[in-house]
Structure 1
Amino acid sequence: MTESKDRAFVNGLARGLAVMSAFKPDRNRMSLGELSKETGLPKTTVARLIHTLVKLGYVYADPDSGRFQLHPRVLTLGYPVMASMDKRHVALPMMQELAEYSRGTVSLGIRDGLSMILIERSRDSTVRALPLDIGSRIPIHTTSMGRAYFAAAGEFEQKDILAQIETFDPKGFKKIEKSLREGEREYREKGYCTAIGSWENDVNAVGVAVELSNDALAAFNCGGPSTRIAEENLDDLGRRLAELARHFQTADWVGQLPPRPYKGVSPP
């Protein structure tokens, strides 16, 4: 965690949020030592912050193991944000239809740092393995969703993303920037981005950016294992996902679905 030199910046608040952000799905129970290592903060500082978060009810302390985990109360912090993005519910029938057509999954995500956080997802009924669920994170630079988001972001936000990448991965920065710029060109030419084995070797996907009801930029993706979604099918899925995004974007969403049923685009 880096601390700002801005005099109005509250370091204590930043540190507390850093501790809460340290918990991950695969590290949902952590000791003081693990939290100290993850945040880069002294163990004594982490102990005080955890004590405060426990008192406020946002962290639960297991008396038997001495480890800590986030309390469900933290969900109350995110609810107002999710409620302000309620237009996403309009997309669910269309997402499900495309998921069944593609025999894969369709997700909607928003940016957090150098990741995209999934806020909605649908999957084909034949997908047996549990795909990424709501709240899961995927990287921006290797995924179709992230590349589409970057392509649609304004110049200021693009510079912020690239600056963060250069800070965290200076050696790989040039390669990552090139990949994002190539995705930007693809998005400009086709209206969607592709990711062919760049996130996971056996996963192919397409991505399209869209705005939510609170004007927040987001992005859809449609993807799955290459055994289900072959590279030669990506252009068809990209056009269908772009059409889904257009329906979603123009929907009179107050309790209504788009003016006509979404049936994707006609095959080329």
Structure 2
Amino acid sequence: MPSAAPRNSSSSLRRALALIGVVAAHHGQGGCTLSQLAADAGISKSTVLRLMAPLLEYGYVEVEPVSGRHRLGAALARLGSTYLDGLDLRATAADLLRGLAEETAETVHLLVPEGVSMVYVDKVEAPRPVRMASRVGARQPMYSTASGLAYLAAAGEDVFEAVVAAGMTPRTPQTPTTAAALRAAVQLARRRGFGVDDVANEAHIRGVAAVVVDATGGPVAAISVVGPDYSLTTDRVDVLGRRAMATARAVSARLGAPVRPAPDREDRTP
């Protein structure tokens, strides 16, 4: 009999947390009524009112005075802000980068934008004797790299225009050097969901990359998988691109990013 109270408390807590989830699901629709809460949670209105009392008291849920609809409260925003303020991008992504490198057997990078360049902030080497020349702190152009294309596909037009205005010096015969060529590469990255450097930045080096977004949905970084063209062959591009996307989504989720729909995957040409 003494153990009944803890079990009941645990059950109540779980149901109260489930109610927060129900309110969150209706948040973009102006909130939800008491009837909707009860129906979606599968519990009675009287139970909803009982469980909702402490959530209202602590500001996790608010009731709109006129409509009586329940919405997420400011206390949750403060908790979320505190959580996000404590995040370090490199530390947040570290284990996921290692996992991606192990899965792909290629070198994995975490890069952030700076001006019209992408800067390496972390690197996990492929398990092979030959090392990639990339190093943390170095810069690479956006227009010729997979990470840059992935970032441009999610960034605003002003970033694209800044890249074009800065000039696009050819780095290999495959480098896009005109606004039209870069636009086509960015649009392809947007359709695929990941950018591809098909030996466009460095001879004999191919890469794929996907964008990382933060809690606002804005692009903040990119994760790339890069290797020599004899290893990262064109027939691996789509598979590795999908894996980069999955890892980027996992990092984004840790940053509080909203759930994004999967992109159209029809165009799989390298």
TM-score greater than 0.5 by the shorter chain: yes
Counterpart Cα distance in 2 of 1:229 and 1:94: 20
Does 2:220 correspond to 1:228?
Answer: no
Hey, what does 1:194 align to over in structure 2? 196
Kindly state the Cα deviation for residue 136 of structure 1 after the two structures are TM-superposed: 1.1
Matched residue SS, 2:177: helix
Task: Describe the shift of the 1:90–1:174 C-alpha distance in structure 2 as closer, same or farther (beyond 3 A).
Answer: closer
Task: Describe the shift of the 1:130–1:151 C-alpha distance in structure 2 as closer, same or farther (beyond 3 A).
Answer: closer
Q: Of 240, 247, 252, which aligns to 2:250? A: 247
Q: Of 120, 123, 140, which aligns to 1:121? A: 123
Counterpart Cα distance in 2 of 1:100 and 1:174: 31
Counterpart Cα distance in 2 of 1:174 and 1:193: 13
Deviation sequence 1:112-138 (CA, Å, 0-9, x none): 233211011112232442541210111
Deviation sequence 1:76-111 (CA, Å, 0-9, x none): xxxxxxx98713312111111211222211111122
User: Does structure 2 conserve the Cα–Cα contact (< 8 Å) formed by 1:87 and 1:213?
Assistant: no
- What percentage of aligned pairs have identical amino acids? 26
Does 2:142 correspond to 1:143?
Answer: no
Size of the alignment, in residue pairs? 168
Counterpart Cα distance in 1 of 2:117 and 2:147: 10
Equivalence map 1:95-174=2 (5 Å)? 95-165=97-167
Deviation sequence 1:196-232 (CA, Å, 0-9, x none): 1111121111011113579662211111101221111
Task: Describe the shift of the 1:179–1:89 C-alpha distance in structure 2 as closer, same or farther (beyond 3 A).
Answer: farther
Hey, what does 2:93 align to over in structure 1? 91
Task: Describe the shift of the 1:85–1:216 C-alpha distance in structure 2 as closer, same or farther (beyond 3 A).
Answer: farther
Counterpart Cα distance in 2 of 1:247 and 1:92: 12
Counterpart amino acid of 2:240? L
Counterpart Cα distance in 2 of 1:204 and 1:122: 16
Matched residue SS, 2:178: helix
Hey, what does 1:45 align to over in structure 2? none
Q: Which moved more, 1:106-115 or 1:224-233?
A: 106-115
Hey, what does 1:204 align to over in structure 2? 206
Q: List 4+ stretches of structure 1 deviating above 4 A.
A: 212-216
Hey, what does 1:237 align to over in structure 2? 240
Unaligned runs of 5+ in 1: 1-82, 254-268
Counterpart Cα distance in 2 of 1:124 and 1:84: 30
Hey, what does 1:217 align to over in structure 2? 220
Aligned alpha-carbon RMSD (Å):
2.9
Kindly state the Cα deviation for residue 160 of structure 1 after the two structures are TM-superposed: 2.2
Counterpart Cα distance in 2 of 1:127 and 1:98: 18
Counterpart amino acid of 2:95? P
Counterpart Cα distance in 2 of 1:100 and 1:127: 15
Kindly state the Cα deviation for residue 235 of structure 1 after the two structures are TM-superposed: 0.3
Counterpart Cα distance in 2 of 1:179 and 1:217: 24
User: Does structure 1 conserve the Cα–Cα contact (< 8 Å) formed by 2:154 and 2:219?
Assistant: no
